[in-house]
Structure 1
């Protein structure tokens, strides 16, 4: 039982906590309690307690609020604690003049000094109810008037009780008004209302009542409940409604009559306007709806689920992020920020080769994509989808663009085909594409200058390239030419001739390796050609021999000097004379020279006097007597003098 008493001078209702029935305020371990919290006139208050000093006397003092004018003497009593420290007293009688009084019992141990307190009342108002199913909880609203005025303002409520058990009690001053509201009770689909209220044995129309308390009289107010409506079934609803986050939502719907919408399963005020869910935030928001056909039905539950999806951030892998020239092998993408969603996640990938104007779906459903080799600039994006309650919500990631630049256009190197050059010689190449750079794959075999002039160094094959670079992209392309560098023949080995004049033609020659021929030149470095040296007459004949490979056309780096040397042959000059006697006739001799090569020539005889004969050297034979010398000589181109 819960009791409400006004405070002195303020007429304020005092609520006593239910557990006061069991204990008041305790000091130390001592307690004092009463068998009830509210009594009617003529009832004895049974007092008990524990924790007192065995054998000590415990005084029991009663304070009354308000104190009846007829109570002139105190009600103090005593109790003696037994061997267990327990006390007992059943001598305090509630009288008629105690109606509406609140008591404070103070127990004091005379030896231990322990103190304990307990509140109880003699209320003048009892609130009860009939007609409700057993175990039904009820709270009755009321408000109290003061100063003879009718009640106003907010209502108070009794403690919850379960009629017919535990009727509620409280106090209102005599000659003051009190208002009651017995609430409508809905149990399942059945509505109960207090259609009448019995007050002081008289039934009046419920569920509200205003009553003026008489002087010194206790009253019981009973709400008489009857069934006023059996509620219809709850409206038919789609119990789960799912939207994508940020999507446009429509008002909720249900199949029923006179719908009322709520945000709580019980309580609250319903709205006839169906709510339109917010899709701003993910999660589940629950709404409730009832229908009213005579009375209100139970509420049907509708869960509005907002399915969120965050696309995440994709990134390029570390293999070849680009840009590339002609092709690019990017490898697998990375995940900078993982996608997240309210439901089950799935992925598709799309690509665009026109700068994002159009997209095509590719067969990849993982969170990462191992890209193929790309031959043109291509963009990729990932679409993440969260599927929840059969509703799919998608979001697109950032776009990855892999740049693949085309190679420049380069003309072919001219002349076409394989090209040969001899070591130490030059070959002019050309290309019609401007701005390129010439290079050699092996400058030890052949070099090339900025104009495409190739110089052979040693025998071998080399690739000569002409490379054009796009300044904007840095991409380049080369035209290539294979150049064969042929070795030079070894200079010929001279076969010279040296011998005396014999009237026969003698020639020089030279030897070369197989597959080679000899070209003859007049000088070691000039371009005037000649034939192998040859001669008959005494003298030196020469020419330069140059080796030439009959297959490659390469010539020896140097020429070999070949000589024919014909020396003069010996000659013999014979003078024939005879002594003579002066006869006035000139007397002379003859002379003849002979030598190799068929030399046989007459020579002029020269005469000179031998002292004392005077005769100047003359080709005329002498006439005068005397001693003379006769001589002849020979000097020829091909013979030695004699």
Structure 2
């Protein structure tokens, strides 16, 4: 870039835009000589300098003539925001003027002057001697002028031919900037193009930050090449920024490859660090292009007229040269720029043997693509379990930049604005893609490519472990429903986990006397995911037994007898362990059937509160004694003793008693049973009759049996009376 003073310094995130001078006036001085000859300043296309079109320019100049005899001045004035009258620009406010100087001017820069002005006024033409002879000027404008660059110092800011910007900072209030060319000592014809003048001002409007709003081009003479050998040129420079991928600017070094051709793209706003640049270029005539051919080709970023870092060239490994999609001879050169810059200067030439010319099709700037990983090539893939989430974060954030997260590569739904994005924690298992895009906070279209990040949500293990209800003092086995071989099942005594006391899909508890809760977790050994909600509580409810009292009843019974057993607990069920020995009915009536030992039970069923309980009563059933009586005994009237015989005694009868129906005969109680026969004693006066008796025999267990029998008192015939007469 030509060396010149550039003072358009702005705060990094301050939103500024150009305000162009929008009113112009000019004046041409000259000399008239007798005979009609005229040495005069000239101007053409004057309105072009204030029409707002950066590629349009006026042309001011002077022809051949003596030093100081002719000049041309153009004033570019800023208008008040009301639209009328000149605007007063505060002192020390930088203003920039874009001009173009041809090669032949470089050796006579003493004829160029740039400065500020106030009090622009129209004036009429003034020519002495009736306009026939002498110095004068045509009608135009004059102003109070404050020269800033002139013959004494302008060489320090102009070092090449072509378009350039020169920034001045007047030390007093001003209304605009002027450019003046004058006749010079060498009497060389001079001309300059004046494109526009502008100041930078803060605005609340959004602007197209990454737009290339202007372009400069020309030749920078080298020490070897010399000022007058600047034969190169840039043809159609604005084609490099017209967004047409088929039009191009041609950078042609010409015959003197030792001079440098430059093409400078001026962006609407400064970049941020790491913003990238892409340039579409090609060799004239087509053919392959690689970095080795770009010797002498450099790209230098600038900020406010100062170099922003080192230049980029073909030896930098950061340069990425690839074929433009769909083309066989156009290439895209892409690289990030670490420094903040507001313009890029492309130069070629300056060395023998360099590529003589280049086509520049397009120059673009892009925001740095957001990164969530240090490695810009790696894909950010996160894996979580259902119910969990993770946070993606931009790790290369830029100032003045907003980061937006979407659910699609283009368009889509805006999910969040900020440096981070945390997906919802209620996502179903599956794969999800998110995209983050950078955009300048004060820009219209300045956006980066979207970075894709991926979230894999693994399903949680299913876990069903039924609880159990047991009776106090019992154990139970708890088991996972439909266990999975890929899962690990850990059992804990606390919801907070710790060291598992059991690992496996089942667990057999010890005997429990109170409600006990265990905690089980399922972990997928492949994904590490744990079942939803953490360790699952599995409760073993322990029911106490019903308070059933003991059975009240007799411990021994004799066969053939009955007894009522009782229990105060309601709604129980009676049962016998052997109904061949004893039976029991629903009311607790026990009937002894045969000798033996039997258990009489009272059972209470389970209910919602208690476990059922069975209480037992051990009953011994003793046998009844028995014997076989002989023929019913009889006795003759008047006698008092007879025998009741018996055989086949059973169950060891040991005593006997005799009672009589109607109590007609004497009762015998608890006498030792003699063997084989029982003596019956009756009063000798017992009347003749048949008497019904009951023989009661008992054994040592106290069991007895009643055996009825009959006893006859027989009439004894009277002896005949014999009378012996």
Whether TM exceeds 0.5 here: the answer is no
Bigger radius of gyration among the two: 1
**Structure-1-length-normalised TM-score:** 0.42
**Structure-2-length-normalised TM-score:** 0.38
Does 1 or 2 have the higher relative contact order (CA < 8 Å, sep 6+)? 2
